[in-house]
């Protein structure tokens, strides 16, 4: 499952979640302002900006159209294989 850690009013976060919604990619969004335990853990791992996207195989932070498009391609291939 894809997890997106975000903060309210974050434009990059909104753009990332919008991408997932538009492309029908399932994800869980976690508001870091309401979940300080996640915020501390992610900061300790070296993440300094949001959104933070964690998939089964990779992690990244910030709005990353390149990573999002790669993920979309993987999702499409998985759907075709079914």
What confidence tens digit (pLDDT) does each residue in 32-55 have? 999 989 999 999 999 999 999 999
The pTM for the full model equals 0.91
Average pLDDT over residues 10-34: 97
Question: What residues make up the domain containing 16?
Answer: 2-81
Question: How many domains is the chain partitioned into structurally?
Answer: 1
User: In this predicted structure, what is the pLDDT of residue 56?
Assistant: 93
Helical (H) or strand (E) element with 80: helix 65-81
The beta strands (E) that lie in 1-82 are given as: 2-6, 27-31, 52-54, 59-61
Query: Measuring CA to CA, which residue among 72, 6, 78 is closest to residue 42?
Result: 6
How many residues in the chain?
82
User: In this predicted structure, what is the pLDDT of residue 77?
Assistant: 86
Say which CATH number the domain at 51 has: 3.40.30.10
């Amino acid at each position: 499952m894809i997890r997106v850690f975000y903060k309210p009013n974050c434009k990059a976060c909104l753009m990332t979640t919008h991408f997932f919604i538009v492309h029908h990619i399932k994800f869980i969004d976690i508001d870091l302002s309401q979940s300080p335990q996640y915020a501390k853990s992610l900061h300790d791992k070296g993440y300094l900006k949001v959104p933070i996207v964690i998939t089964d195989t990779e992690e990244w932070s910030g709005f990353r159209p390149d990573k999002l498009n790669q993920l979309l391609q993987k999702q499409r291939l998985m759907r075709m294989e079914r």
